């Protein structure tokens, strides 16, 4: 079963626009929600992460919004740039299980100049 569902599968945004990627999870024991960014030919790298005791976390142009009651979280990329073009994965884990991450299906983002 897919414990973390991610949408959309692909996204095209104009430069300067806002990119929004959504994820939903099922297991209420999850307590850590990271987003990973992957460029072609590279492994994923941590972009930003949130724990469920806060509803929002912002780092530069990247913001995670978290809705615990709806079991949903999303990544917002403000002022999207061509260099943001990559595949983005949401994930979830349980803190005492170390880095055992359950990933969403991935979103391929293309930012057009």
Partner 1 sequence: DVKVTQSSRYLVKRTGEKVFLECVQDMDHENMFWYRQDPGLGLRLIYFSYDVKMKEKGDIPEGYSVSREKKERFSLILESASTNQTSMYLCASSLYGVSNEAFFGQGTRLTVV
Chain positions contacting partner 1, by CB under 8 A? 4, 6, 9, 32, 34, 41-46, 49, 89, 91, 93, 95-96, 98-106
For the record, the structure tokens of 54 come out as: 């806060």
For the record, the structure tokens of 43 come out as: 């492994």
To the nearest whole angstrom, how small is the minimum distance from the Cβ of residue 92 to partner 1?
10
For 80, counting Cβ atoms within 10 Å of its Cβ (0-12 exposed, 13-18 middle, 19+ buried), the class is buried
| Sign of CA pseudo-dihedral 32, 107, 102, 40 | negative
To the nearest whole angstrom, how small is the minimum distance from the Cβ of residue 113 to partner 1?
25
Decide whether 28 or 113 has the Cβ nearer to partner 1.
Answer: 28
To the nearest whole angstrom, how small is the minimum distance from the Cβ of residue 15 to partner 1?
26
By three-state DSSP, how is residue 95 classified? helix
The whole-angstrom separation of Cα 47 and Cα 32 is 13
Decide whether 9 or 113 has the Cβ nearer to partner 1.
Answer: 9
To the nearest whole angstrom, how small is the minimum distance from the Cβ of residue 18 to partner 1?
23
Decide whether 39 or 55 has the Cβ nearer to partner 1.
Answer: 39
């Amino acid at each position: 079963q897919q414990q973390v569902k991610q949408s959309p599968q692909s996204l095209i945004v104009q430069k300067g626009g806002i990119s929004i990627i959504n994820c939903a999870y099922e297991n209420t024991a999850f307590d850590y929600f990271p987003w990973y960014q992957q460029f072609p030919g590279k492994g994923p790298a941590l972009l930003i992460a949130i724990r469920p005791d806060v509803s929002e976390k912002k780092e530069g142009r990247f913001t995670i919004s978290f809705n615990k009651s709806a079991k949903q979280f999303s990544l917002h990329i403000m002022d999207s740039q061509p260099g943001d073009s990559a595949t983005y994965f949401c994930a979830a884990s349980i803190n005492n299980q170390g880095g055992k991450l359950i990933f969403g299906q991935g979103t391929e983002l293309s930012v057009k100049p």
